[in-house]
Amino acid sequence: MKRILIATILLISTLLPQEIYKKVKIFPSNSEGFAPILQYAFDLEESTTDKDGSIKIFLNSKEFSDLQNSGLRYEVLIPDWQQYYNNLPTLRPEEKSEFLRESKEKYGIEGFGFGSMGGFYTFQEAINQLDSLHARFPNIITQKFQIGETENGRPIWAAKISDNPNVSEPEPRALFDGLIHAREPISMMTVLYAMYYLCENYGDDPEVTYLVNNREIFFIPVVNPDGYEYNRIDEPGGGGMWRKNRKNSGGGAYGVDLNRNYGYMWGYDNTGSSPTPSSETYRGPSAFSEPEVAAIRDLTIVNGFRSYVNFHSYANAMLYPWGYINQVTPDNAIYSDFCSYMSQFNGFEYGNGGTILGYNSNGSSRDWFYGEQTTKPKTFGYTFEIGGDADGFWPAQSRIFPLVQLNLRPILFKSWVAGEYVSLFSPGFDREYFNPGDVVSLIPVFKNRGLSNAADVTVELTAVSPDLTIINGVVQILNIASQDTSAVTTIIKLFHCS
């Protein structure tokens, strides 16, 4: 009898209609723009904008019906996402080997590879990476530790990388997390790739070694295990489009958008998040109602992170507060300067959500990390949207390694600025031209981009040419306040070419 019942349940599950997601291009109204669809609280934060002012976005069946009723003109680009994804080309074994070879050669990484779900790690495979890293590098990474438990009883795992990982030292702290949205696995892969980079290059790369020795860097690869596991069970080959967690909200509705559940300006309006449980941007019954979000809140209050990135896909954008309104924070100059530096490496555009996307979102992680300054220090929080329009939520296998490598430098930078970070801001000479035999004053300007003041900084200049002789190559800078500059005027360089 039991076997018959199980078989019946399995048969019924196979007969249930699968949710079909479409990718559509929506054109703004001449008079109202996109106002006719704002009431539906579409996930516009993860849409892309074309030069003609239109947006491209993935919609489920209910949202597509709402779009049809909105009166806006649209074009269907992909009528059935899963069918489209299943037909994407996959890598041959020799092609995968080439990506692994290049990763080792260029970045010193050999432990990171392809997973079994469309090239992405499954939840269990991702957690296995934490175990593997700790087994190989127990002196610089903690054993994975549980910060919370999901609605369905799955653990939320984190790990810390530092030179004394099992000791809480008074060092600046940074946090990086991924997969808050279950259909964005490139975010998890980016977090894990950075962890491998730090561990496998420690002791060989001076910058990595300094950061590990002088920072406490926390990582949460999978914030939303329930949602990600649901996608694995539903589409084991990858491409599953479930976004939220799997909370049973009653009435046949499941899931809360975890990035609308943070407490700062939670539920500010019904366009930046939705009060409707069936919506993709449902914010939950109350702020921090979801155990995944509450776990990150509690971890943050205890550790006082100064620097934070919440990885997503897709839009090739770095978003910073405010998200709930189209205004900037008092620290907009710092946010913009950080992004200007990081965009040299990832090429992302940047700004607050309203500026970049023309759309506001409330209850987001980046707004809470920055806006909550009572229970914890001010944290410079960002949302990174990885990948372009062609990548979507589930990039092709050939795009996984290029995308995770794209944000290595920004992750290092965000780890730096959690404390002091003095670097060359601009070179300077006492004259525009000089001739062989001239004695020239070099007057470089250094800037402390870090969020902490810097003291007792030693600047050492080394000649890169035998034609140059540096007379005074070491100088001390006593103090550089956060975001301030200091010019060194006592370094003399003899230009001595013949």
Say which residue, 288 or 18, is predicted with more confidence: 288
Domain end call among 27, 62, 86: 86
Q: What residue numbers bound the domain in which 490 lies?
A: 422-495
The H-assigned helical ranges of 44-122 are: 61-70, 81-86, 93-107
Q: Which position has the higher pLDDT, 455 or 35?
A: 455
Work out the average pLDDT over 231-260.
97
Q: Which of the listed residues 392, 416, 440 is the one where a domain comes to its end?
A: 416
| CA atoms of 183 and 440, how far apart (whole Å) | 58
Which of 49-53, 388-392, 396-400 is predicted with the least confidence, judged by mean pLDDT?
49-53
Is the pLDDT at 91 greater than 80, yes or no?
A: yes
Let me know whether 25 and 104 are in one domain. no
User: For residue 434, is pLDDT > 80?
Assistant: no
> What pLDDT score does 431 carry?
72
Give me the helix-helix angle, 332-346 and 408-416, nearest 10°: 150
Percent of the chain's residues with pLDDT above 90: 75
Across 323-337, 421-435, 481-495, the highest mean pLDDT is recorded for 323-337
Confidence (pLDDT) at 98 = 98
Q: Are residues 364 and 277 in the same domain?
A: yes
**Residue 150 Cα to chain centre, angstroms:** 21
**What integer pLDDT is reported at residue 13 of this predicted model?**
41
444 or 90, greater pLDDT = 90
Please tell me what DSSP assigns to residue 157: E
| Core vs surface per residue 368-395: b (16+ CB within 10 A) or e | bbbbbeeebeebbbbbbbbbbeebbbbb
Q: What is the mean pLDDT of the chain?
A: 91
Digit-coded pLDDT (tens) for 256-306: 999 999 999 999 999 999 999 999 999 999 999 999 999 999 999 999 999
Residue 214 counted as domain residue: yes
**Distance between CA 26 and CA 54 in Å, rounded?**
5
Contact between 171 and 216 under an 8 Å Cβ cutoff? The reply is yes
Assess if residue 206 is contained within a domain. yes
Mean pLDDT for 236-260 is 97
The pLDDT of residue 492: 55
Q: Output the pLDDT for position 50.
A: 80
Same structural domain, 246 and 297: yes
Please report, as a single letter, which amino acid is at residue 473.
Answer: G
Q: Are residues 212 and 166 in the same domain?
A: yes
Here the CATH number for the domain that contains residue 44 is 3.30.70.340
Residue 6 has pLDDT above 60, yes or no: no
Helical (H) or strand (E) element with 91: none
pLDDT tens for residues 137-187?
999 999 999 999 999 999 999 999 999 999 999 999 999 999 999 999 999
**Under 8 Å CB-to-CB from 186, ≥6 apart: which residues?**
120, 311, 313, 314, 386, 387, 391, 395, 400, 403, 404
| 433: helix, strand or coil | coil
pLDDT of 82 reads: 96
Which residue in this structure is represented by tokens 């100064």?
306
Range picked from 59-63, 72-76, 290-294, 427-431 for highest mean pLDDT: 290-294
More confident residue, 255 or 38: 255
273 vs 424: CA distance, rounded Å: 42
DSSP at 141: B
Structural domain contains residue 345: yes
Q: Across-strand partners of 260?
A: none
Active site members:
385
The percent of the chain in helix, strand and coil, each rounded to the nearest 5, is 35, 20, 45
Do 44 and 138 sit in the same domain of this protein? Answer: no
In a domain, 8, yes or no: no
Q: Say what the pLDDT of residue 489 is.
A: 66
Token pair in block for residue 278: 């069936």
State yes or no: cis peptide before 322, omega within 30 of 0: yes
Alpha-helical runs (H) found in 204-303: 206-214, 225-234, 291-303
β partners of residue 117: 120
Decide if pLDDT at 5 tops 50. Answer: no
Question: Three-state DSSP class for 144?
Answer: coil
Same-domain status, 207 and 322: yes
Mean pLDDT to the nearest integer, 26-54: 77
Domain boundary among 51, 86, 121: 86
Provide the pLDDT for residue 420.
Answer: 97
Give the gyration radius of the chain's Cα atoms: 25
DSSP string, 405-448: HHTHHHHHHHHHTTS--EEEEE--BSSS---TT-EEEE--EEEE
More confident call, 60 vs 215: 215
Q: Are 428 and 442 in contact (CB under 8 A)?
A: yes
280 shares a domain with 247: yes
Structure tokens belonging to residue 337: 């300067």
Kindly state whether residue 10 falls inside one of the protein's structural domains. Answer: no
Verify that 136 and 204 share a domain, yes or no.
Answer: yes
How many distinct structural domains can be found in the chain?
3
Q: For residues 426 and 405, state if they share a domain.
A: no
Q: What is the largest CA-CA distance in the chain?
A: 98
Residue 97 φ/ψ, nearest 5 degrees? -60, -35
What lies within 8 Å, CB to CB, of 111 at 6+ separation is 129, 132, 133, 136, 196, 200
User: 3-state DSSP call for residue 482?
Assistant: coil
**Rounded CA separation 16/472 (Å):** 77
In a domain, 5, yes or no: no
**For residues 364-386, average pLDDT:** 98
Confidence of residue 10 (pLDDT cuts 50, 70, 90): very low
Q: How far is CA 247 from the centre of its chain?
A: 24
- Between 421 and 4, name the one with better pLDDT: 421
For the cut 80, the answer to whether the pLDDT of residue 343 exceeds it is yes
Nearest Cα neighbor of 266 from 352, 357, 364, 360 is 364
* Pair of tokens at residue 390: 């062609």
What is the structure's pLDDT at 496? 47
